[in-house]
Structure 1
Amino acid sequence: MKPGDRSHTGVIPAPTEPIAMSEAQRRALFMMASVLLDYPDDGWEHKLRVVHEQAATLPAGVEKLLQPFFAFAYQQGQRGLEEHYVSTFDQRRRCSLFLTYYAVGDTRQRGAAIWAFKEALESMSFTMQRDELPDHLCVVLEAAALADDQSHSMACGMLSAHRDGIEVLRTALEHAGSPYAGIVTAICAALPPIDDATRENFLELIRSGPPAEVVGIESPLPFPTSQPGY
């Protein structure tokens, strides 16, 4: 089965095509996306205005992807956006912002996979200062935005290693009609084109969902616990 074909869930979507951008623009996008995909807490309206202003520095195709979210956020206000956030990310399994969910599902491997994220972030000299697990998409995006040189490449590699799951998140958000879909599409557009193996993983996740618990069978962690050469 390939993108464009139909399954019992509907048309199989195609992965996102990349959009050319500089490293500075990519870093800026990752930081903006980290802010916009976070829960709209105190100070949200100020953050929204700042990000909206900075979006003009991004390539036109990327800025266009973000505009529907800005319009929705201003229209809904903080209270309305809070409700949409909870109904989208907390109540839809395929809209999870935790990357290990797509890689290993709710299995006993999840703890080790989350620990691998923690080790990877610590190897880049990042320590958690927010009340989130280290595999949260906002956490990895912030690391990719702020990391220097090799650490930046490693953080981008972590995102690329979970490209299949991020594409599933994008597809689920599009299916739900959520304006958050444009933000995730922009993230995918900032990453390199996916290879055949990642495309197949993406399609399998669309068809079957994340892995279920299988006792006695081991699967690899989402990426090596030692620092890889991205």
Structure 2
Amino acid sequence: MTQRFDLNRAMTHRIAAFLLSYPDTELSAMLPTLRTAAVCLTAPTGTPLVELIDDLRQTPLLAAQQHYVDTFDMRRRCSLYLTYWTTGDTRNRGQAILEVKRLYREAGVIPAEEELPDHLTVVLEFAGTTNQTVGTALLLQHHAGLTLLTSALREQGSRYVLALDAVLATLPEPTETTLRAAAQIATTGPPHETVGITPYRAGADQTGGRR
């Protein structure tokens, strides 16, 4: 049975995708429009997004850019690449990324080359504009990683935890299985391989934010 389209969820995912992108002059110019859209959302998603937008509008661009780099480029615990949380930098990650690409192609989307398809902003954009059912299922598949990312951002005192709070508010409460998976990753870290392979990488830094 086809799930009913949820406009509030779609708008939340779309706005969060913009806000979790690298802050530049283009994003700065969009913030008033994004705020106008965010105030129309229900409180659990709209309130944190409005707070984040207001914070970004009040922060000088260079300072916002430095905070973004310090948060997402310098800390693996704040990786925006969803498959990193489940496969780490192992040979399995390449296969996991190909699976995400397959889902996009089946939905009629050709993945862009400038960013890996498992980047949270790409997944949110897909869920918000192309296929809500498949996109939300993909977010749920990585619920444990999203939970850990949210915790890491909160510990760092990063403004970007507000975007993750909004995204998580669009998903069901984490199941016991999800919580156990998150606890295991928190204890042991994502899987890793150091012998016999070169970690799957698309560029100089695969744990960082979207540019």
Range of TM-score over shorter length: 0.7 to 0.9
Tell me which residue corresponds to 2:12.
Answer: 29
Change in 2 beyond 3 A, CA 1:40/1:130: farther
> In the alignment, which residue of structure 2 is the partner of 1:90?
73
Distance 1:66 1:30 in 2: 10
CA shift, 1:130, in A, is 5.8
Instruction: State the identity %.
Output: 35
> What's the CA shift for 1:65?
1.8
Task: Report the residue type matching 2:119 in the other structure.
Answer: H
Query: Which residue identity is paired with 1:209?
Result: G
Among 109, 119, 126, the alignment partner of 1:143 is 126
Write out per-residue CA displacement over residues 85-107 of structure 1, whole angstroms, 9 at most, x where no aligned residue: 11100001010110010010111
Q: Which residue identity does 1:174 align to in structure 2? A: R
The answer to whether structure 1 residue 118 and structure 2 residue 98 are counterparts is no
Task: Give 1:68 shift.
Answer: 3.4
Which AA in structure 2 matches 1:100? T
Distance (Å, rounded) in 2 between the aligned partners of 1:24 and 1:208: 38
2:188 aligns with 208
Q: Select 1:66's aligned residue among 46, 49, 54.
A: 49
* Per-residue CA distance 1:139-168 (angstroms, 9 max, x = gap): 110111112xxx421111000000100111
- Contiguous gaps of at least 5 residues in structure 2: 197-211
TM-score scaled by length of structure 1: 0.79
Is the 1:44–1:78 Cα contact (8 Å) retained in structure 2? no
Give the corresponding residue for 1:222: none
- What value does the CA root-mean-square deviation take over the aligned residues? 1.7
Give the SS at the match of 2:39. Answer: helix
State the partner residue of 1:5: none
List structure 1 runs of 4+ shifted beyond 3 angstroms: none
Counting only pairs closer than 5 Å after superposition, residues 36-185 of structure 1 correspond to structure 2 as 36-129=19-112, 131-147=114-130, 151-185=131-165
Contact 1:30–1:141, Cα closer than 8 Å, also in 2: yes
Q: C-alpha distance in 2, partners of 1:208/1:73?
A: 34
Distance, in Å, in 1 between the alignment partners of 2:30 and 2:118 is 23
Aligned residue pairs total 192
CA contact (8 A) 2:39 2:50 kept: no
